[in-house]
Chains A and B, each alone.
Chain A
Amino acid sequence: MIWLEQARRGDQAAFSRLVEAYQGPVYNLAYRMLGNAAEAEDAAQETFVRMYTKLNTYQPDRKLSSWVLSIASHYCIDRLRRRRATWLSLDDEPLATALPAGERGPEEEVLREESRDELQELVSQLEPAYRVPLILRYWHDLSYQEIADIMGLSVQAVKSRLHRARLQMAQRTSSGSLPAVALAPAR
């Protein structure tokens, strides 16, 4: 909050610290929503630019993380709506890297890459309205209430969307088709 107050007074360094603190969650949400590293980078940057220009509108009674993720999710949803057919494919080699997870052999690395692509494909097939609560639930470990605050919905609506997201994902997969990584213990 100190950084926030300093940033509001025009302290660029303080704002940079806020960016550093929230870059992971914002980028992750953008990537999972848009499925493309270049767009995710742009969406994440735009989120922080909007955050910067709207600093004075932030209400302290709301969690800062909820506010930032709210900006990011709304921007990503708008972007998905406006998305037109691409004429030329962009280089989709991800700029993102997963958090370091210790030493891994090359075979395991390949399996993880494939698993990540399959997972992203599965998530990308969901409607944007179902995708957001799923991402916030699994990657940000937020409660129904927190997700509701971010999306501007009721708790019941969030519960319903998560349920539908699971139904859709279950319909597109079968137990046996999920990669071995699924046997790893849950976070």
Chain B
Amino acid sequence: MHKEFTTLMSTVLDREATAAETERLHEHLTVCPVCAQTWTHWRTLDRYLAAAPLLMPAQGFVWRVAERIERERQRARRRRWVGSGLLLAWGGIMVLLWLGLVVSLVWAFTHPVEVGQVASAGAYLFSGLAWLLRTLQSILADGGGLELSLGVGFYLGITALVLLLWAWLLLREMGWLRPLATAGDSFTYSLKGWEVISC
């Protein structure tokens, strides 16, 4: 099979060849049986493809697109609200923290005795924490480390599951995790460009 002529076959089938190129191909086909066979096969394939129908979507496609656009707009609006809310909350917390710090400093300067009392209460709390750590250390040393580890692992696992569930709900709410078109009883979800298929 001559590569140059198969390239020419492709151009002729695409109706992009000049008259001279087409004639050159046909001349070659009369003397090369291998290329002639390839040409017959490619022409058959060409007609096979050309006869295939143009597919149309199911009824109501325009309406479904309109609905989807509306959903995207609502999602965008919600994202803006959530974003603004988070920013506002963060700003509020920062302001409160700074205010709290300023008030504490002012109070500390004006009430030195009370500051001393607070400091000693803090030291007492710290010593209580130290006691807790010493107790934990003795439990581990006594061979109860396995039960403690299992217990801690169990609570950490439950916390992780709760966090994952919360993240899933939040992502759905924010529109980052959204259902794709349904087909029958199946549902498909996409996560920001990744596909998670479920039923």
Which positions in A face B, CB cutoff 8 Å? 12, 15-16, 19-20, 23-25, 27-28, 31-32, 37-42, 44-45, 48-49, 52-53, 78, 82-84, 86-88, 90-99, 101, 116, 119, 134, 137-139, 143-144, 159, 162-163, 166-167, 169-170, 173-175, 178-179, 181-187
**With A19-B61, A19-B62 given, is the CB distance from A184 to B47 under 8 Å?**
yes
Task: Check if B48 sits within 8 Å of A166, measured CB to CB.
Answer: no
Query: Of B9, B38, B47, B181, which one neighbours A38 at CB under 8 angstroms?
Result: B181
Task: Check if A159 sits within 8 Å of B10, measured CB to CB.
Answer: yes
Which B61-82 residues sit within 8 Å CB-CB of chain A? 61-62, 64-66, 68-69, 72
- Complex CA distance for A134 and B40, rounded to whole angstroms: 19
Task: Check if B193 sits within 8 Å of A82, measured CB to CB.
Answer: yes
B52 near A: Cβ within 8 Å?
yes
B84 near A: Cβ within 8 Å?
no
B112 near A: Cβ within 8 Å?
no
Task: Check if A167 sits within 8 Å of B6, measured CB to CB.
Answer: yes
- Complex CA distance for A101 and B197, rounded to whole angstroms: 35
B186 near A: Cβ within 8 Å?
yes
B179 to chain A, nearest CB (A): 10
- Chain B residues with CB under 8 A of A28: 54-56
23 contacts between A and B (CB under 8 A): A23-B57, A23-B62, A31-B55, A32-B55, A38-B183, A40-B57, A48-B68, A48-B69, A49-B69, A52-B69, A82-B194, A91-B186, A137-B14, A139-B54, A170-B38, A175-B40, A178-B48, A181-B48, A183-B47, A184-B47, A186-B47, A186-B50, A186-B51
B198 near A: Cβ within 8 Å?
yes
- Complex CA distance for A53 and B55, rounded to whole angstroms: 26
Contacts A28-B55, A38-B182 supplied; 15 other A-B pairs, CB < 8 Å: A23-B57, A41-B181, A45-B65, A82-B193, A95-B58, A96-B58, A97-B56, A98-B55, A119-B49, A166-B10, A175-B44, A181-B48, A182-B44, A182-B45, A184-B51
- Complex CA distance for A88 and B195, rounded to whole angstroms: 13
- Chain B residues with CB under 8 A of A90: 183-184, 186, 188, 197
- Chain A residues with CB under 8 A of B176: none
- Complex CA distance for A183 and B45, rounded to whole angstroms: 10
B138 near A: Cβ within 8 Å?
no
- Chain A residues with CB under 8 A of B183: 37-38, 41, 90-93, 95
- Complex CA distance for A66 and B46, rounded to whole angstroms: 23
- Complex CA distance for A179 and B155, rounded to whole angstroms: 63
B172 to chain A, nearest CB (A): 17
Which B160-199 residues sit within 8 Å CB-CB of chain A? 180-186, 188, 193-195, 197-199
